[in-house]
A and B are shown apart, each in its own frame.
Chain A
Amino acid sequence: MGEKVLEVEHLRTEFKQEKKKYVTAINDVSFTLNEGEIVGLVGESGCGKSVTSLSIMRLLGDTSGRVTQGKILFKGQDVLSLSNKQMRNLRGGRMSMIFQDPMSSLNPVTRIETQMMETLLLHRTKDKAQARRMAAEMLKKVGIPDVETTLRSYPHQLSGGMCQRVMIAMSMSCDPQLLIADEPTTALDVTIQAQILELMKKLQREEKTTILLITHDLGVVAQMCSRVLVMYAGRIVEEAPVHELFYNHRHPYTQGLIDCIPKIGSGVRRLPSIRGSVPDLALMPAGCKFAPRCPFASDECRKNEPELLPYEGDPTHLVRCFRTKEVLS
């Protein structure tokens, strides 16, 4: 196992709702990313996946959200204590991010070359001609066939898949050590998704980049990740190596998520579903947040919140549940 690239400890992010009222979007989130691994972060919409990534990148900015507790260490350096200027140097350089919607995350009124060179000029070189050469090289690496035309294009002239390639090229152009990919293929068609995932894997192998892959698609996780974090209602409820997660998961939410994905070729006509839906942030139930939807919930679950603890003493498999023994039995 390589060096620790990112350590998140007891992170808590709150959002201001109305005057003086705060809701907690994520609470007590802790995890570590090691060098060169792809870790998946999964969960339903509204469970805090994106807030986690925005908190790490310090991109909550002018929104009403703020980190109120916890630590984020990037290569041992406390990200939260950096000045905005220091953070700007880090962001896009050693830490970078790919967003879900490639079409709206690129600037529509500047050419691709300008956008790509902007990052490079900030982090890598002062020479414009060299920056342009580097941009061209990066585009070639991500499999764009006609590099010169693409560099001269505006985002609307490219397809969704092409835009996402440009985004990846841009985020990889400064050799980041950490790449946060927030639903990088959700907006794309399956055949294009397959190409993009292949590309991310290749870059990760070659450059030893650590990737935090945020997705709601467990299929993507199974194909890409070595380790998985499952989030529910702003908390990590299970963490395990990918194989362990699919075959020996211990949290009823994980089980629900896995059971309800239709598998191609299985021939089933009906699927189990998780009853109910994700609780409103302002109306979180007491006790275990999953208890109202959980088929195993007991009185204890409704009263106290379980902690994230190793399952059967295995430090790589953590689960936040009182009734792990009942699940899967």
Chain B
Amino acid sequence: MSAEPLLSVRDVVKTFEVSRGFMAKKKLVHAVNHVSFDIMPGETFSLVGESGCGKSTTARMVDHLILPDSGEIIFDGKRIDNLTDREMQTFRRDIQMIFQDPYGSLDPRMKIQDLVAEPLLLHTDMTAEERRKEAVQWLNIVGLSEAHGQRYPHEFSGGQRQRVGIARAMTVHPKLIIADEPVSALDVSIQAQVLNLMDDLQKEYNLTYLFISHDLSVVEMISDHIGVMYLGTLVEVAEKKQIFEKPLHPYTKALLSAVPQPDPDHPNQRISLEGEIPSPVNPPAGCLFHTRCPYCTDICRRVTPELRDMGNGHICRCHRTEEINQEAGKDHVQV
């Protein structure tokens, strides 16, 4: 593994202002709190968590669509979070995005071929004919034909549209692709096609992915490293294998056990979480997870735990990591 990360997110914070009604006092939504992670070139790093945990906000900050309140984002050795939009233009080519909704993210009035060629118009000085050729080539790579290029988005199924989205992102040979829930809107049978395509492209072009998903089973397929988010903070970061075989944080464990397994003989060892995710406007004191945690004690309610390295780069934010995993050593989620 090369030493320099391609993307480094350091202690990033983002809050949004909300006000409840006229004259009301402004309140803050703590969307992302002190999030840090590195992604090595050629690797897939996934952020997982439930809705509202800040995973998409983090992705948007990496893509410079939202600016962080504090913290640094370093891409390819250069700090990008403080660039102006114009300065950012040169990096846009290297950071491309694939969106969740294949229906909403393609201009319905443009031909597929023009949609795929559009980034080339922005980032290169190719002639129209060169752009067309390049677009056709990419359509072929993602499994569509030249004839598809003459059609409009509404003529395509969800899976095909997602292929178009991928071709469009790939035309400018990016280094980093941010994929925000790229398969969540697709049927399982089609999910597999798109994930396999993303995997092929990664190998072929040495791509780096920042993959955002709520679906742990999808994340397991595509990731090298995984970060689990809860209420705007990272609660656990580790290699994929560690997360699935030896999860340390109680939230990760509950999340893993909550996924229904497609096997009627699978023993139901669900760790059920009480209640719901607290509002990010009034996050709980102490550990953010303490309101739903089955292992919560007094210290959890008072003191915010720090991220601690539990060995081999397995990072966990929990006061009771050692105790929990000692006593629960045998009933690790066996899946």
Contacts and interface: CB of A to CB of B under 8 A. Distances in A.
A286 to B, nearest CB: 21
Interface of B: 50-51, 157, 159-160, 187-193, 195-196, 199, 214, 216-218, 220-222, 241, 244-245, 254-266, 268, 270, 272-273, 275-277, 334-335
Most buried by A among B260, B273, B276: B260
Contacts of B270: 194, 198
Interface in A149-205: 159, 161-162, 189-195, 197-198
Given A189-B50, A189-B214, A190-B255, A162 B264 contact: no
A46 to B, nearest CB: 9
A29 interface: no
B260 A216 contact: no
A265 B262 contact: no
Contacts of B261: 219, 222-223, 263-264
B199 A217 contact: no
23 contacts: A45-B187, A145-B275, A161-B276, A189-B50, A190-B50, A190-B214, A190-B259, A191-B258, A218-B188, A219-B259, A222-B263, A223-B266, A243-B264, A263-B262, A264-B256, A265-B334, A265-B335, A267-B220, A270-B196, A271-B192, A273-B189, A273-B193, A274-B189
6 nearest A-B pairs in the assembled complex, by CB-CB distance: A219-B260, A273-B192, A265-B335, A189-B50, A262-B217, A271-B192
B264 A272 contact: no
Nearest to B245: A265
B157 A277 contact: yes
Interface string A197-230: 1100000000000000000111111110000000
B266 A222 contact: yes
Contacts of A145: 275
B260 A220 contact: yes
Given A222-B266, A271-B196, A263 B217 contact: yes
B191 A195 contact: no
Contacts of B277: 189
B195 A271 contact: yes
Contacts of B268: 223
Contacts of B51: 189
A44 B187 contact: yes
Given A257-B189, A262-B221, A222 B273 contact: no
A195 B276 CA distance: 10
Interface string A251-271: 000001110111111111111
B192 to A, nearest CB: 4
Interface in A295-327: none
Contact of B190 (A189, A195, A273): A273
A159 B258 contact: no
A219 B262 contact: yes
Contact of A191 (B159, B220, B254): B254
A155 to B, nearest CB: 16
Contact of A260 (B188, B214, B272): B188
A242 interface: yes
Most buried by A among B192, B218, B257: B192
Interface in A50-105: none
Contacts of A190: 50, 214, 216, 255, 258-259
Nearest to A258: B262
